[in-house]
Structure 1
Amino acid sequence: MSELFLLSEAQMARISPFFPLSHGVPRVEDRRVISGIVFVIRNGLRWRDVPAGYGAHKTIYNRFIRWSQMGVFGRIFVELAKGGGEADEIMIDATHLKAHRTAASLLKKGLFPRFIGRTKGGLNSKLHAVCDSEGRPRTLFLTAGQVSDFVGARALLSTLPSGKALLADKGYDADWFRDALADRDMEVCIPSKSNRKTQIPYDRTLYRKRHRIENMFGKLKDWRRIHTRYDRCAHTFMSAIAIAAIVIFWV
């Protein structure tokens, strides 16, 4: 057991207050099960291949599915991100996540969308995100791969953290978006599209900091079950993303 990855006591202390209460029979040790979930997501394993030291793989899988359906991991991410404070700059962008055939090959069933679409790169999902000046994700939003960046921008606009300036690439150059940011008294650092009749100036020195959100996406994609989507259900995939964001950036 000493050779296995385990979340530290300090990390567990940050996230355990948001765990649901146990009813009836006491559940298996939280630290061991959550560490097993993290191990599987980070290394891209099948659930049945989780090391025996973490316990029965069915227990780990069932905990992940049940708590994903309850929205536990998403709530933990939201609550920890709220404590990030005000940032000097915030950044918005989106990235594609390839859908594996196990996630995309079956017909869609159930009431909820799977958020898998087709682009020139094949079947994938798109993760829209806002991060702060330290490169930590603050809000996350999942759509099908072919969805416009503006759809993600509209969805994230109401939950934008406070900041002095917003940085984005020219894909977010739209008058309505600039006006919405101006209403929040935020400096807009977005290059103009080439087809804009009157080019809008922006701070090129400040814009260089936008690489931080690209670095954030890179760190998330280091986790194999994030880089390649194996989960058929959008809520389980989003839970995997939230877990990765929590462990990498917030604990």
Structure 2
Amino acid sequence: MTDIFLLSEAQMARISPFFPLSHGVPRVDDRRVISGIIFVIRNGLRWRDVPASYGPHKTIYNRFIRWSEMGVFGRILVELAKGGGETDEIMIDATHLKAHRTAASLLEKRLLPRFIGRTKGGLNSKLHAVCDSQGRPRALFLTAGQVSDYTGAAALLSSLPPAKALLTDKGYDADWFRAALADRQIEACIPSKSNRKVQIPHNKRLYKKRHKIENMFGKLKDWRRIHTRYDRCAYTFASAIAIAAIVIFWM
């Protein structure tokens, strides 16, 4: 954790075109500030504990909050994913992210949902994701932990990139979802639920590739502030997830 992280010039060149324009007083060095944000999220630090080499912690925190409100980090992920090229297979799945008690201490307001729910595992949020054949996230969607996988699948349908097949587990075995994939000319590689009257066969050999999306979730959870949610506001937590996805898979 003491190793200071600094984005390379090549990495900055990939993401800097999507930064907001600076108005008036020039911004503090983008490379140093963004590197400080990444350092905090990866290591699970409090913002006040960021190493002094990154500059004042308030500057780093304010930049993260301001750009999160503007949706900057989410847009960077979307734009980089668009350049990911064609993919033969896509995968969809969801995972739970435990919410720390500090994240759940904010009273919920109608205009600013927290996306924290209660399940058998306690308070958590659920991350729904679509990844390509290389295990890189193409689309992410955050909900409360008790929300059905079908809700995430419906929300991500419009974000599915063109592909030959979609791989997912039996939790997504629904006629409406299979029909939606057929309309997009995507083969549904989905095992049938045990209670389905007529079992629908799937390509078992192709299905073995589904571990890639599980590996993607594992890599995201290696980042301490992703594995455990400390952010009270959903938009800041979603930005933290987007930053982790950008650094791990797209830079």
Letter of the aligned partner of 1:80 in structure 2? L
Matched to 1:186, the amino acid is I
Letter in 1 for 2:234: A
- After the TM superposition, which segments of 4 or more aligned residues of structure 1 sit over 4 Å from their partners? none
Question: Is 1:131 matched with 2:131?
Answer: yes
| In 2: Cα distance, 1:166 partner to 1:143 partner | 22
1:243 paired residue number: 243
Distance in structure 2 (CA, Å) of the matches to 1:109 and 1:171: 31
Letter of the 2:147 counterpart: V
Q: Which residue of 2 aligns with 1:52?
A: 52
Q: Are positions 1:221 and 2:216 aligned together?
A: no
Does the CA-based 8 Å contact 2:105-2:232 persist in structure 1? Answer: no
Query: Quick one: distance in 2 between partners of 1:42 and 1:250?
Result: 16
Matches of 2:220 and 2:183 in 1, distance apart? 32
Deviations 1:94-118, CA, capped at 9 Å, x for gaps: 0000000110123224621010000
Q: Distance in 2 between matches of 1:44 and 1:72?
A: 21
Residue 67 of structure 2 corresponds to residue 79 of structure 1: no
Q: Distance in 1 between matches of 2:202 and 2:24?
A: 59
Which amino acid counterpart does residue 122 of structure 2 have in structure 1?
Answer: G
**For the residues of structure 1 that align with 2:111 and 2:207, how far apart are their CA atoms?**
41
Would you say how many aligned residue pairs link Structure 1 and Structure 2?
249
**For each residue in 1:202-250, what CA deviation from the matched residue of structure 2 results, as whole angstroms up to 9, or x when unmatched?**
0100000000000000000000000000000000000000000000000
Q: Give 1:87 shift.
A: 0.5
- Tell me if structure 1 keeps the 8 A contact 2:87–2:133: yes
Taking the TM superposition and a 5 Å limit, the aligned residue runs for 1:23-172 are 23-109=23-109, 111-172=111-172
Contact 2:131 2:213 in 1 (8 A): yes
Q: Secondary structure at the match of 1:28?
A: coil
| Residues in 1 aligned to 2:132 and 2:198: alpha-carbon distance in whole angstroms | 30
The AA in structure 2 aligned to 1:132 is D
TM-score normalised over the length of structure 2: 0.98
Assess, with a 3 A threshold, how the Cα gap between structure 1 residues 59 and 234 changes in structure 2: closer, same or farther.
Answer: same
Identical-pair percentage: 86
Q: 2:201 is matched with which residue?
A: 201
Match of 2:184 in 1: 184
Q: Give the partner amino acid of 1:250.
A: W
Q: Which structure 2 residue ranges, 5 or more long, are not aligned?
A: none
Task: Let me know the Cα RMSD of the aligned residues.
Answer: 0.8
C-alpha deviations, 1:145-180, integer Å up to 9, x for none?
000000000000011011110000000000000011
Q: Partner of 1:158: helix, strand, or coil?
A: helix
| Aligned equivalents of 1:225, 1:184: Cα separation in 2 | 36
Q: SS at the partner of 2:188? A: strand
Give the Cα separation in 2 of the matches to 1:149 and 1:109.
Answer: 24
Give runs of aligned pairs for residues 10-29 of structure 1, distance below 5 A. Answer: 10-29=10-29
**TM-score, normalized by length of structure 1?**
0.98
CA distance in 1, matches of 2:106, 2:129: 28
> Relative to 1, partners in 2 of residues 1:202 and 1:110: Cα closer, same or farther, differing over 3 Å?
closer
* Equivalent position SS for 1:101: coil
Letter in 2 for 1:227: H
Q: Which amino acid aligns with 2:105?
A: S
Q: 2:93–2:213: 8 Å Cα contact kept in structure 1?
A: yes
Spell out, residue by residue over 1:62-84, the C-alpha distance to the aligned partner (whole angstroms, 9 max, x if none).
00000000110000000000111
